[in-house]
Structures are given as C-alpha cells and as structure tokens.
C-alpha cells in the first residue's frame, strides 16, 4: 500500500510557508500484529501543530525533518491484525497529514457513524471539545452569575467554553476577529456579549461588556487581547491558559517596556490563579466528557460549527489560514469520501 503524505521539509521561521513542506508518495509496511492499515477520511488541523514544527523545548517532541506532519484523523479500517477491528470500521486515530497509515489498534477509538457526524470526533466531541471541558471546569470552575471571557471564541475550543459557561449558569463573553465571527457568537453560539478584537476601541468595548469584571478568562490568544483583559480581572479570578496563538509565529520577544513586573504585581494584588494546561493531563475525565457532551448536543445546549476544506493538497494553505483566523469553526480537511 502506498500513501501520499505531507512531510516537514524545513523548520518555519515565522509563518509556515509552502517551501517548509514536501508532498511525496511512500510505501507503507504491512500491518504487524496489533496494527491496522487505515485510509484517512478526515484530517484535523489545530493550532498546536505550529509548535510541533519547531524544535524549541515544549510539552511534546517536535516533528522531525522529513517526517509526516502529525494530526488526528478519522479513518476507515482496510486491514486489521486485531479482532477488535474489522475492515470497514471507522476509527479515530493519529495518522497525520497523509492518505493512509498503519497504527496500533490499542491507540484507536472505534466510532459509531450513526451516533454523530464523523467530523465531530475531531472537534466538539474530540480533543478541542475535551480541552474546553477539562480546562474550564477543572481550572476555571465557573460559578452561577460569574463572568467568563474567552478569546478565539468561534474556534472549536472557544465556542465550547462559552456554551459550557452558560450551561453552568455563568455569563459568557466572547472575543473574535471580524463582524462575521462576532455575529456568530451571538446568533449561533448564544454568547451574552461578543467583542471584535480588531476594533480600534476593543479595550473600551470589553470593559463595557464586563461591568462586573472578569471572573474566568480562558486564554487562547495572548498578545493585545490579554493586555485588555488583565486590568479587568476580579480578585481570585482564574485563568486557564490553553494557547497563545498570537505569539506562535513570533521570531523574538515583543518590543517595548518589560511588563513582567506589572503582570506579577497584578497576580499578587488580585490573588489570581493562572495555570497552563494540556488536555492529556485530564484524560481520566474523558468518558465523563463524552457522555455529557453527547447529551448536551442532543438537547441543543451545545452546538458546533465546522469548516471543511476538500483535498489533502489544500492542507498547507488551510493551515496558514488557521493561524491568521480565516477559518469559521473547527478546521477539517476532507481527504477521502
């Protein structure tokens, strides 16, 4: 079996460019005992992939040069050496940016196509949804009547955070880029307020939308958005730090005065709790999340939006768009029917 794959050809400096990748055809080894041969149907694109393109120290090892780019996939089983899976079964795996893969069966999760659209396993019922669930409820711990603010709020993590805040009785304020996304936050996702971070008076609009301050800020962005949020945080506010996409393509430290003393002073003065996390820290909650989120979707309390791009050959351009906020909802590449 051959696979068409996109490998990391060189490490990007700043925004990843087409020359940092190479598309090639390669032979796959036959599946060994405990493995299955898979055909990729859908590939998830997520911001964390930018970090895996760098060899800087991080929570996960970098993708090596000439190695297939990593990524979660929904795939069809073509051949299996394990009776737990049969040809034709659909699974959630980690095949990466390629048309076919060989993976260990015990790392795959069998999906029921009748239970939910297959793409939801990469979004609202997958890693992004679980990231929102575990980070907000374990670290943010929103209480009825509190104000929860989330950046990148139309993305799969941010949109889920805002809706979970509402389910828990809190007030949800979303931050996104552009009028279309702001309208989606109000009209589709049911946020109580939505702010365009590109507006020249963004900081003033955010302050007006949070008259009682901010009790939980779910951080996906960093940069100027965090600058506007920081003075509005209430005493004992909680800040789950999930991502910092504003800085992912940075090639150096930002110019200007050192603001670390101000940040540390605010943390001390307001008794803030700021905690970075990776969703794998909370895998013990995964079954609980699956059951709860599936029921919330069925009840209409949790809705989602997907941006499906057709063709593996469009992956690099779609990923560039993800880093600049062009996608609307969870970004998925459709690799095969």
Tokens of 84: 């737990």
Tokens of 200: 């020249």
Question: Predicted confidence band at 200 (pLDDT cuts at 50, 70, 90)?
Answer: very high
Separation CA 291–CA 157 (nearest Å): 18
Q: Left (φ > 0), alpha (ψ -120 to 50) or beta: where does 306 sit?
A: beta
User: Which of 191-205, 236-250, 257-271 reaches the highest mean pLDDT?
Assistant: 191-205
Q: Which comes out higher in pLDDT, residue 250 or 270?
A: 270
- pLDDT tens, 18-49? 999 999 999 999 999 999 999 999 999 999 99
Question: Predicted confidence band at 258 (pLDDT cuts at 50, 70, 90)?
Answer: confident
Structure confidence at residue 249 (pLDDT): 66
pTM score, two decimals?
Answer: 0.90
Structure confidence at residue 251 (pLDDT): 62
Separation CA 327–CA 306 (nearest Å): 9
Domains of the chain: 2-123+306-334 (3.90.180.10), 127-280 (3.40.50.720)
259 and 266 Cβ atoms separated by less than 8 Å = no
Structure confidence at residue 243 (pLDDT): 86
Question: Predicted confidence band at 271 (pLDDT cuts at 50, 70, 90)?
Answer: very high
Question: Predicted confidence band at 274 (pLDDT cuts at 50, 70, 90)?
Answer: very high
- pLDDT tens, 210-229? 999 999 999 998 889 999 99
Question: Predicted confidence band at 244 (pLDDT cuts at 50, 70, 90)?
Answer: confident
Question: Predicted confidence band at 248 (pLDDT cuts at 50, 70, 90)?
Answer: low
Is it the case that residue 168 has pLDDT exceeding 70?
yes
Structure confidence at residue 222 (pLDDT): 86
Question: Predicted confidence band at 250 (pLDDT cuts at 50, 70, 90)?
Answer: low
pLDDT averaged over every residue in the chain: 95
Question: Predicted confidence band at 256 (pLDDT cuts at 50, 70, 90)?
Answer: confident
Distances (CA, A) of 50 to 6, 163, 316, 335: 15, 27, 11, 21
216 half-sphere exposure, CB direction, 13 A CA radius: 31
- pLDDT tens, 68-99? 999 999 999 999 999 999 999 999 999 999 99
Separation CA 162–CA 154 (nearest Å): 9
């Amino acid at each position: 079996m051959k696979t068409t794959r996109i490998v990391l050809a060189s490490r990007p400096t700043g925004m990843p460019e087409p020359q940092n990748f190479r598309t090639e055809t390669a032979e796959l080894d036959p599946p060994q005992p405990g493995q299955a041969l898979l055909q990729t149907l859908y590939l998830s694109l997520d911001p964390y992939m930018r970090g895996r393109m760098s060899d800087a120290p991080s929570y996960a090892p970098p993708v090596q040069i000439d190695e297939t780019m990593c990524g979660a996939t929904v795939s069809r089983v073509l051949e299996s050496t394990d009776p737990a899976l049969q040809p034709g079964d659909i699974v959630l795996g980690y095949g990466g940016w390629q048309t076919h893969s060989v993976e260990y069966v015990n790392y795959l999760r069998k999906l029921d196509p009748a239970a939910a659209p297959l793409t939801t396993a990469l979004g609202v019922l997958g890693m992004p949804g679980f990231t929102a669930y575990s980070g907000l409820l374990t670290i943010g711990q929103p209480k009825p009547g509190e104000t929860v603010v989330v950046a990148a709020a139309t993305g799969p993590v941010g949109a889920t955070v805002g809706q979970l805040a509402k389910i828990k009785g809190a007030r949800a304020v979303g931050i996104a880029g552009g009028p279309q996304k702001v309208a989606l936050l109000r009209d589709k996702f049911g946020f109580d307020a939505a702010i365009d971070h590109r507006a020249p008076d963004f900081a003033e609009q955010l302050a007006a939308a949070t008259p009682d301050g901010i009790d939980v800020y779910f951080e996906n962005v960093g940069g100027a958005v965090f600058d506007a949020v920081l003075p509005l945080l209430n005493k004992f506010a909680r800040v789950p730090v999930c991502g910092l996409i504003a800085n992912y393509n940075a090639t150096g430290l930002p110019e200007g005065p050192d603001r670390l003393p101000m940040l540390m002073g605010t943390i001390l003065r307001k008794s803030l709790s700021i905690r970075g996390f990776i969703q794998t820290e909370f895998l013990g909650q995964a079954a609980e999340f699956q059951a709860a989120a599936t029921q919330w979707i069925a009840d209409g309390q949790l809705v989602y939006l997907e941006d499906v791009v057709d063709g593996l050959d469009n992956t690099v351009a779609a990923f560039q768009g993800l880093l600049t906020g062009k996608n609307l909802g969870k970004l998925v590449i459709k690799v095969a029917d």
